Chain A
Amino acid sequence: MNNTTVDTFYYNNKLVRDFAYATAFWGLIGMLVGLLAAFQLVYPELNFELPYTTFGRTRPLHTNAVIFAFVGNGIFMGVYYSLPRLLKTPMYSKKLGNIHFWGWQGIIVAAAVTLLLGMTTGKEYAELEWPIDIAITIIWVIFGANMMATILQRRESHLYVAIWFYIATWVTVAVLHIVNSMEIPVNLFKSYSVYAGVQDALVQWWYGHNAVAFFLTTPYLGLMYYFMPKAANRPVYSYRLSIIHFWALIFIYIWAGPHHLLYTALPDWAQSLGMAFSLMLIAPSWGGMLNGLLTLRGAWDKVRQDPVLKFMVVAVTAYGMATFEGPLMSIKAVNAISHYTDWTIAHVHIGTLGWNGFLTFGIMYWLFPRIFRTKLYSIKLANAHFWIGTMGILFYAVPLYWAGFTQSLMWKEFTEEGFLAYPNFLETVTQILPMYLMRAIGGSLYVVGLLIMLYNIYKTVKQGDFLEAEKAQAPPRALAHVHEADHWHRWIEKRPMQLLVASMFVILIGGVVEMVPTFLISSNVPTISTVKPYTPLELQGRDIYIAEGCYVCHSQMIRPFRDETERYGEFSKGGEFVYDHPFQWGSKRTGPDLHRIGGKYSDSWHYNHMLEPVSMSPGSIMPSYSWLIEDKLDTHTTAKKIRVMQQLGVPYPKGYDKIANNDLEAQAQAIAERLKKDNIEVEADREIIALIAYLQRLGTDIKKQPKEEDE
Chain B
Amino acid sequence: MYKQILRSIADVGVFGSISLILFFTVFCLVLIRVVTTKKSHIQKMSNLPLDNSMIN
Smallest CB gap from B15: residue in A: A513
- Let me know if A461 is at the binding interface, CB within 8 A: no
Complex contact B54–A490 (CB within 8 A)? no
Interface residues of B (CB under 8 A from A): 3, 6-7, 9, 12-13, 15-16, 18-19, 22-23, 26-27, 30-31, 33-38, 41-50, 53-56
Contacts of B7 in A (CB 8 A): 520
Complex contact A471–B56 (CB within 8 A)? yes
Assembly CA distance A372 to B55 (angstroms): 15
Complex contact A251–B26 (CB within 8 A)? yes
Assembly CA distance A673 to B39 (angstroms): 82
> What string of 1s and 0s marks CB contacts (under 8 Å) between A30-66 and chain B?
0000000000000000000000000000000000000
- Let me know if A706 is at the binding interface, CB within 8 A: no
Contacts of A487 in B (CB 8 A): 38, 41
A-B contact pairs, 30 of them (CB 8 A): A85-B53, A85-B54, A88-B53, A158-B44, A158-B45, A160-B45, A226-B49, A229-B46, A230-B50, A235-B43, A240-B37, A243-B34, A244-B31, A247-B27, A251-B26, A269-B16, A470-B54, A471-B55, A471-B56, A487-B38, A487-B41, A490-B41, A493-B45, A509-B22, A509-B23, A513-B16, A519-B6, A520-B3, A520-B7, A520-B12
Complex contact A512–B30 (CB within 8 A)? no
Complex contact B34–A240 (CB within 8 A)? yes
Smallest CB gap from A163: residue in B: B48
Smallest CB gap from A277: residue in B: B23
Contacts of A161 in B (CB 8 A): 45
A158 to chain B, nearest CB (A): 6
Contacts of A252 in B (CB 8 A): 23
Assembly CA distance A516 to B15 (angstroms): 10
Contacts of A490 in B (CB 8 A): 41
Complex contact B45–A239 (CB within 8 A)? yes
- Let me know if A379 is at the binding interface, CB within 8 A: no
**Could you list 9 further interchain pairs (A-B, Cβ under 8 angstroms) beyond the known A471-B55, A506-B26, A520-B12?**
A85-B54, A156-B48, A162-B49, A229-B50, A233-B50, A243-B33, A251-B27, A513-B15, A516-B15
Smallest CB gap from B42: residue in A: A239
Complex contact B48–A244 (CB within 8 A)? no
Smallest CB gap from B6: residue in A: A520
B21 to chain A, nearest CB (A): 11
Of the candidates A226, A243, A512, the one whose C-beta lies within 8 Å of that of B15 is: A512
Assembly CA distance A516 to B14 (angstroms): 12
B3 to chain A, nearest CB (A): 7
> What string of 1s and 0s marks CB contacts (under 8 Å) between A151-171 and chain B?
000001010111000000000
Complex contact B48–A86 (CB within 8 A)? yes
Q: List the count of A-B residue pairs having beta carbons below 8 Å apart.
A: 102
A267 to chain B, nearest CB (A): 12
Complex contact B35–A240 (CB within 8 A)? yes
Contacts of B42 in A (CB 8 A): 239-240
Main secondary structure of the interface of B (DSSP, over half): helix
- Let me know if A489 is at the binding interface, CB within 8 A: yes
- Let me know if A126 is at the binding interface, CB within 8 A: no
Task: Given A160-B45, A243-B34, answer yes or no on A474-B22 (Cβ-Cβ < 8 Å).
Answer: no
- Let me know if A635 is at the binding interface, CB within 8 A: no
Smallest CB gap from A521: residue in B: B12
Complex contact A244–B50 (CB within 8 A)? no
Complex contact B50–A489 (CB within 8 A)? no
Contact residues on A (Cβ < 8 Å of other chain), bracket: 35 or more
Of the candidates A251, A472, A506, A521, the one whose C-beta lies within 8 Å of that of B53 is: A472
Smallest CB gap from A255: residue in B: B19
Residue with the greatest number of chain B CB neighbours at <10 A, chosen from A239, A472, A493? A239
Complex contact A248–B27 (CB within 8 A)? yes
Contacts of A82 in B (CB 8 A): 49
B35 to chain A, nearest CB (A): 7
Of the candidates A11, A162, A520, the one whose C-beta lies within 8 Å of that of B9 is: A520
Contacts of A510 in B (CB 8 A): 19
Smallest CB gap from B33: residue in A: A489
- Let me know if A651 is at the binding interface, CB within 8 A: no
> What string of 1s and 0s marks CB contacts (under 8 Å) between A84-102 and chain B?
0110100000000000000
Complex contact B12–A236 (CB within 8 A)? no
Of the candidates B15, B18, B36, B56, the one whose C-beta lies within 8 Å of that of A489 is: B36
A495 to chain B, nearest CB (A): 14
Query: Closest 10 A-B residue pairs measured CB to CB?
Result: A235-B46, A239-B46, A160-B48, A472-B53, A513-B15, A240-B34, A247-B30, A474-B53, A229-B49, A517-B12
Contacts of A158 in B (CB 8 A): 44-45, 48
Task: Given A509-B19, A513-B19, answer yes or no on A471-B54 (Cβ-Cβ < 8 Å).
Answer: yes
Contacts of A160 in B (CB 8 A): 45, 48-49
Assembly CA distance A36 to B46 (angstroms): 44
Contacts of A235 in B (CB 8 A): 43, 46-47, 49-50
Contacts of B33 in A (CB 8 A): 243, 489
- Let me know if A473 is at the binding interface, CB within 8 A: yes
Contacts of B30 in A (CB 8 A): 243-244, 247-248
- Let me know if A273 is at the binding interface, CB within 8 A: yes
Contacts of A240 in B (CB 8 A): 34-35, 37, 42
Task: Given A230-B49, A230-B50, answer yes or no on A517-B13 (Cβ-Cβ < 8 Å).
Answer: yes
Residue with the greatest number of chain A CB neighbours at <10 A, chosen from B9, B12, B45? B45
Assembly CA distance A235 to B46 (angstroms): 5
Assembly CA distance A70 to B32 (angstroms): 39
Assembly CA distance A507 to B42 (angstroms): 26
Contacts of B31 in A (CB 8 A): 244
> What string of 1s and 0s marks CB contacts (under 8 Å) between A251-265 and chain B?
110000000000000
Assembly CA distance A506 to B26 (angstroms): 9
Complex contact A519–B3 (CB within 8 A)? yes
Assembly CA distance A532 to B10 (angstroms): 31
Smallest CB gap from A158: residue in B: B45
Smallest CB gap from B48: residue in A: A160
Contacts of A86 in B (CB 8 A): 48-49
Complex contact B12–A251 (CB within 8 A)? no
Contacts of A520 in B (CB 8 A): 3, 6-7, 9, 12
Assembly CA distance A108 to B17 (angstroms): 42
Assembly CA distance A22 to B42 (angstroms): 36
Contacts of A506 in B (CB 8 A): 26
